[in-house]
Amino acid sequence: MSPDNPDADSFSSALPGPLQGAFQWAFEHGDRVHSWVTRTPTRPMKIALAVGAVLLLVPSVAGQYTISLFSYVLVFSLLAASLDLIWGYTGMLSFGHAVFFGMGGYLSAYLLRDGMTSLPLILAAAFVLGAVLAVVMIYPALRTETTGVYLAVITLIYSLLFEIAALQFDKYSGGYTGLTVTGWPSIGVPGVATLSLDSTTQLYYVIVPIVFLLAVTLYWIGLSGYGRVLASIRENTQRARAVGYNPDRYKLTAFSLSGGVACIAGALYTPVSALISPQIFAFDLSGRAILYALLGGKGTIFGSFIGTALIYLPETYITGIIPGVWMYVVGLMFIVLVIYLPDGIIPQLNEAFRND
């Protein structure tokens, strides 16, 4: 018991043994948690809450098609946001995030097929799978100092390998045609009370809060002390090391978290699309995730949502009218964004709506 915390002393001594330690810990770290929460800018959170609430109203005014379109936007946004954690905050670009997304997608396809429909369990399993996979995948790349380029290239190679492997093992992946997913996920406690989500709309009502919570968590991670260390590694790895942080450990954990969330996004994707095929691993999706995050603004998390909506919605519309043109637009967007708008549109929006 620390003498400089008399309040803690008197209060915690009244508690049963094991709780005393816990209370003491909470008291000593309270400052950090407090500053972390108060440091959260209120405006982005307010906007996020408002958008989340509006999204929940969508099914009451829109049809099935729009609802599934919005589901896709949310799922891909989550993928882009998970990428933003390592790219925007830590400066590590992954060109293979589709690998995590695809593995999550296949995991949930298998579980749903085999009757393990509990969505919380599927997502937890997906997180673990993605987190472990991420560590195994990027560990060799951390040995090199030019992590930026090496990591981007290594992850790109993984993307190709997973696609080739999935096509090769068609017994498990369904080959070119992919696996059709039958069965809807359910929520609740398995064996006690479960609710099956057996329509696109019901699924959507669950996807919105899940994606919202994960996005807010990612945003908070970025603001936390841990997120600050990630940013310091991005800005100057040598100095971060000199100050006493182990950059490799932070890079590894950040990548692991990001891979876990990307895997969750994939696990949510399969029930929406009802189909998963090896093409999910290809460069296309990895590249798209980068573009979504880039357009929104690196290191903003919520920007990924704006970026995804601004690209995905027009894409489905235009591709329906003139197929084959969209790839030119995507290519041009990469070039124009990198050259003229490297920080994305969030800083521009902040500038436009500044209220001093």
Partner 1 sequence: MIDVLFNGILLGVLYTLLALGLSLAFGMMRIVNFAHGEFFTVGMFAAITAGDVFSTTTAFVVALVAAPFAGAAIAVVMDATVLRRIYDRDELATLLATWGFALILQQLYRHIWGSQPQSFTYPLSGTISVAGIQYPTYRVLAIGIGVVATIGFFLFFNRSSLGLKAQATIQDRSTASAMGIDTQQTTRSIFVVGAAIAAFSGVLFAPIGAASPTIGRTFIVLSFMIVIMGGLGSITGTVIASFVVGFIDSITSVLYSSVYAEAAIFGAVLVIMLLRPGGIAGVDA
The residue range among 254-262, 267-275, 287-295, 310-318 that interacts with partner 1, by the rule CB under 8 A, is 287-295
Give least dist CB 290 to partner 1, A.
7
Q: What is the DSSP string of 160-202?
A: HHHHHHHHH-HHHH-GGG-EE--S--EEEETTTEEEE--SHHH
Q: What is the DSSP string of 107-131?
A: HHHHHHHTT--BHHHHHHHHHHHHH
Other CB atoms within 10 Å distance of the CB of residue 320: 8
Using CB under 8 A as the binding rule, whether residue 4 contacts partner 1 is answered as no
Query: Which contacts of 244-248 are long-range, i.e. CB under 8 A and separated by 24 or more positions?
Result: 248/142
Question: Considering only residues 48, 135, 160, 231, which one is a binding residue for partner 1 as defined by CB under 8 A?
Answer: 160
Distance CA 23, CA 26 (A): 5
Using CB under 8 A as the binding rule, whether residue 287 contacts partner 1 is answered as yes
Question: Considering only residues 153, 274, 275, 349, which one is a binding residue for partner 1 as defined by CB under 8 A?
Answer: 153
Using CB under 8 A as the binding rule, whether residue 8 contacts partner 1 is answered as no
Comparison of 195 and 327: residue with beta carbon closer to partner 1: 327
Using CB under 8 A as the binding rule, whether residue 168 contacts partner 1 is answered as yes
Token representation of residue 53: 């609430």
Q: Residue 164: what residue type?
A: I
Comparison of 193 and 335: residue with beta carbon closer to partner 1: 335
**62-121: contacts with partner 1 (CB under 8 A):** 93
Using CB under 8 A as the binding rule, whether residue 144 contacts partner 1 is answered as yes
**CB neighbours of 146 closer than 8 A, spacing ≥ 6?**
none
Comparison of 116 and 156: residue with beta carbon closer to partner 1: 156
The residue range among 40-48, 56-64, 205-213, 332-340 that interacts with partner 1, by the rule CB under 8 A, is 332-340
Please give the helix or strand (H or E) that residue 6 lies within, else none: helix 6-13
Q: What is the CA radius of gyration of the chain?
A: 22
Question: Considering only residues 86, 112, 263, 294, which one is a binding residue for partner 1 as defined by CB under 8 A?
Answer: 294
Residues that bind partner 1 (CB under 8 A): 93, 140-141, 143-146, 148-150, 152-154, 156-157, 160-161, 164-165, 168, 283, 287, 290, 294, 324, 327-328, 330-335, 337-339, 342
